[in-house]
């Protein structure tokens, strides 16, 4: 089975003004990640702790929610 998430790169975005910065190491990704919000940090922690999540990708894309462009913080491969 091919891990599709390994073939994509996260969106490169500047740190939002005034945002917290969390530097973490992800064993499932095999590198350091930098979530900028507490919610993103908690989403990463849940995916990292979930044994059914085989891999994950931070900031994979933007989606439209109620006409607003929002970023997807994490995408997990279960």
Q: Where are the domains of the chain?
A: 19-77
Q: Which residue has the higher pLDDT, 72 or 54?
A: 54
Res 6 pLDDT > 90: no
Backbone angles phi, psi at 63, to 5 degrees: -130, 160
56 membership: H or E segment, kind and range = strand 55-65
pTM passes above 0.85: no
User: Judging by beta carbons within 10 Å of its beta carbon (0-12, 13-18, 19+), is residue 37 exposed, middle or buried?
Assistant: middle
Q: Which of left, alpha, beta for 28 (phi over 0: left; psi -120 to 50: alpha)?
A: alpha
């Amino acid at each position: 089975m091919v891990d599709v998430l390994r073939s994509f790169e996260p969106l490169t975005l500047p740190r939002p003004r005034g945002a917290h910065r969390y530097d973490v190491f992800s064993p499932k990704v095999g590198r350091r990640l930098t979530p900028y919000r507490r919610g993103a940090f908690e989403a990463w922690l849940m995916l990292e702790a979930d044994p059914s999540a085989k891999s994950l990708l931070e900031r994979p894309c933007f989606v439209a929610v109620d006409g607003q462009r929002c970023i997807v913080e994490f995408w997990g491969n279960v």
